[in-house]
């Protein structure tokens, strides 16, 4: 996880500071002049990375915010608030504003933005099924970028009563399509862009800004006599219903006849943890499935780096951040052939995709057979590391910075950045 630092946040955004020149201090920015000096950015997201069920979307938003702060922007991250969390906090150069629970956040954040509607140059409105409708509350001069990781219509139908699902699909589709029709949209993969066009009829221009990847390094950590398994399979991610982690747990009884030493490790936290622990204790899985919960980075990397396979059973992804995290350690992934995951897994090269008519157990078994050959395993490990090396949060942040520069330049903003652009002082990549 990113390094943390705390400080006191100001009571309100206040007057915009004068343009700042000089070396870049942000974690992802290189030496030289900052590209967004004095630009005020509001980043609206359902959650933030320290919350209990935060996942890849929260990590993406936070890493983008860190990069923008490193480029001289004043970043305000507005999100929900879990019990025990402070309403205000400054971390990694980002000013956090927490308000409301998982439902009230969609009322309180737009209200917070409305009261500051003239104080921001750019709003990044993250739509996790339901948007914050920033275009309806900000001033006309404020640029709004919509960020959509994937389409949620199937998720609504799978996990909500019919009337709620229909309402969610209506908001995500016709309503959001109209509200954001003139606002640049960012998504994280080519298949997510195709789904926005095909399933939502999205009208706005869409840019792809891929996820980054942490610089994961395997760490040898003693396991206190724990049986890691031979082979070992890892699931890494949130423990929530739509990830269908129970299918990964069920690989043990399904493959026990062929792979008697198989052990499944479930790493992550979320509301399904207790149910998964009970499933792991059932006959056929007991003693060969470990539900670890949250693990600190060294222990997580040691477990993941020693695994034969990373397996995800989700059918709703915009990309697959944990796929690249595993690949950085040389571990391939088995996943379903669905939007997002078909982008992050290169079928037959850095992993295997479960296609229509195939079962997860069949494809995992085939993958384990291939990886039993040392030469084939070394080939896949090398391909995984090379693939993961193509992604970094610095590249993600740089592309988002360029989009913001283009947005401000096209609008002719009289912001600190626009003044510097007019004077020819800031380079546009």
Q: What is the CA 146 to chain-centroid distance, rounded?
A: 15
User: Strands (DSSP E) along 275-409, which ranges?
Assistant: 289-293, 309-311, 333-336, 351-354
What would the mean pLDDT of 250-279 be, rounded to a whole number?
Answer: 94
140 or 351: which leads in pLDDT: 351
What does the pLDDT read at residue 75?
98
| Mean pLDDT estimate for the chain | 86
What does the pLDDT read at residue 323?
95
Least confident of 2-6, 227-231, 301-305, 416-420: 2-6
The stretches of 209-272 forming alpha helices (DSSP H) are 245-249, 251-255
The domains spanning 40-212+392-422 and 232-388 adopt the same CATH topology: yes
The top-level CATH class assigned to 40-212+392-422 is alpha beta
What does the pLDDT read at residue 410?
82
What does the pLDDT read at residue 216?
62
What would the mean pLDDT of 393-414 be, rounded to a whole number?
Answer: 88
Residue 256 has pLDDT above 80, yes or no: yes
In the sheet that holds 309-311, the strands lie side by side as 289-293, 263-267, 232-236, 309-311, 333-336, 351-354
Least confident of 70-79, 89-98, 400-409, 411-420: 411-420
Residue 413 has pLDDT above 70, yes or no: no
Residue spans of the domains in the chain: they are 40-212+392-422, 232-388
- Indicate the SS3 state at residue 97: strand
pLDDT 10s digits, 285-297: 999 999 999 999 8
pLDDT 10s digits, 180-232: 999 999 999 999 999 999 999 999 999 999 999 876 666 665 454 456 778 99
What does the pLDDT read at residue 366?
97
Query: Which CATH code is given to the segment(s) 232-388?
Result: 3.40.50.2000
Q: How far apart are CA 292 and CA 256, in angstroms?
A: 21
* 147 token code pair: 């960020």
pLDDT 10s digits, 153-193: 877 877 788 888 899 899 999 999 999 999 999 999 999 99
What would the mean pLDDT of 413-417 be, rounded to a whole number?
Answer: 48
Contact assessment for residue 53 and residue 5, using Cβ atoms and an 8 Å cutoff: no
The DSSP letter of residue 173 is I
What does the pLDDT read at residue 23?
32
What does the pLDDT read at residue 396?
96
Least confident of 16-25, 264-273, 364-373: 16-25
What does the pLDDT read at residue 133?
97
Q: How far apart are CA 192 and CA 148, in angstroms?
A: 8
What does the pLDDT read at residue 360?
97
Q: Pick the most confident of 158-167, 238-247, 395-404.
A: 395-404
Q: How far apart are CA 261 and CA 391, in angstroms?
A: 34
CA dihedral 170, 173, 174, 178 (to 10 degrees): 140
**pLDDT band at 53, cuts 50/70/90?**
confident
- This prediction has a pTM of 0.80
Orientation angle between helical segments 321-328 and 374-388, nearest 10 degrees: 120
- Within 8 A by CB and 6+ apart from 28, the residues are 63, 66, 67, 70, 393, 394, 397, 398
Q: How far apart are CA 416 and CA 163, in angstroms?
A: 47
What would the mean pLDDT of 358-378 be, rounded to a whole number?
Answer: 97
What does the pLDDT read at residue 164?
87
**pLDDT band at 414, cuts 50/70/90?**
very low
What would the mean pLDDT of 22-30 be, rounded to a whole number?
Answer: 39
Q: Counting beta carbons within 10 angstroms of the beta carbon of residue 321, is it exposed (0 to 12), middle (13 to 18) or buried (19 or more)?
A: buried
What would the mean pLDDT of 70-98 be, rounded to a whole number?
Answer: 97
């Amino acid at each position: 996880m990113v390094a943390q630092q705390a400080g006191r946040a100001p009571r309100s955004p206040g007057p915009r500071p004068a343009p700042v020149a000089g070396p870049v201090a942000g974690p992802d920015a290189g030496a030289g002049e900052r590209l967004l000096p004095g630009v005020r950015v509001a980043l609206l997201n359902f959650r933030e990375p320290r919350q209990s069920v935060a996942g890849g979307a929260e990590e993406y938003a936070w890493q983008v915010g860190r990069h923008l702060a490193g480029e001289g922007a004043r970043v305000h991250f507005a999100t929900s608030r879990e019990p025990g969390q402070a309403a205000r906090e400054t971390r990694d150069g980002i000013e956090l504003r927490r308000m409301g629970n998982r439902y009230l956040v969609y009322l309180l954040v737009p209200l917070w933005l409305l009261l500051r509607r003239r104080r921001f140059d750019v709003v990044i409105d993250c739509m996790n099924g339901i948007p914050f409708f920033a275009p309806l509350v900000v001033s006309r001069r404020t640029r709004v970028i919509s960020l959509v990781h994937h389409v949620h219509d199937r998720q609504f139908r799978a996990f909500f009563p019919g009337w709620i699902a229909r309402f969610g699909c209506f908001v995500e589709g016709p309503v959001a399509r109209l509200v954001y029709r003139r606002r640049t949209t960012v998504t994280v993969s080519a298949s997510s862009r195709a789904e926005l066009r095909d399933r939502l009829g999205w009208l706005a221009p869409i840019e792809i800004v891929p996820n980054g990847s942490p610089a994961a390094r395997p760490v040898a950590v003693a396991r206190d006599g724990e049986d890691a398994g031979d082979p070992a399979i890892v699931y890494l991610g949130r423990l929530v219903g739509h990830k269908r982690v129970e299918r990964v747990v069920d690989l043990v009884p399904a493959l026990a006849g062929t792979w008697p030493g198989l052990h499944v490790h479930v790493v992550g936290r979320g509301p399904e943890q207790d149910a998964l622990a009970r499933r792991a204790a059932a006959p056929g899985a007991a003693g060969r499935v470990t539900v670890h919960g949250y693990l600190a980075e060294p222990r997580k990397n040691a477990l993941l780096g020693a695994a034969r396979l990373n397996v995800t059973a989700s059918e709703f992804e915009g990309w697959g951040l944990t796929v690249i995290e595993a690949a950085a350690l040389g571990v391939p992934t088995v996943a379903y052939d669905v939007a997002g995951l078909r982008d992050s897994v290169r079928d037959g090269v850095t992993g295997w995709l479960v296609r229509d008519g195939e079962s997860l157990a069949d494809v995992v078994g085939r993958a384990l057979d291939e990886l039993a050959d040392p030469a084939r395993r070394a080939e896949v490990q090398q391909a995984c590391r090379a693939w993961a090396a193509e992604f970094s949060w610095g590249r993600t942040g740089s592309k988002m910075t360029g989009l913001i520069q283009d947005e401000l330049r096209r609008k002719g903003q009289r912001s600190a950045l626009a003044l510097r652009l007019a004077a020819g002082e800031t380079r546009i990549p």
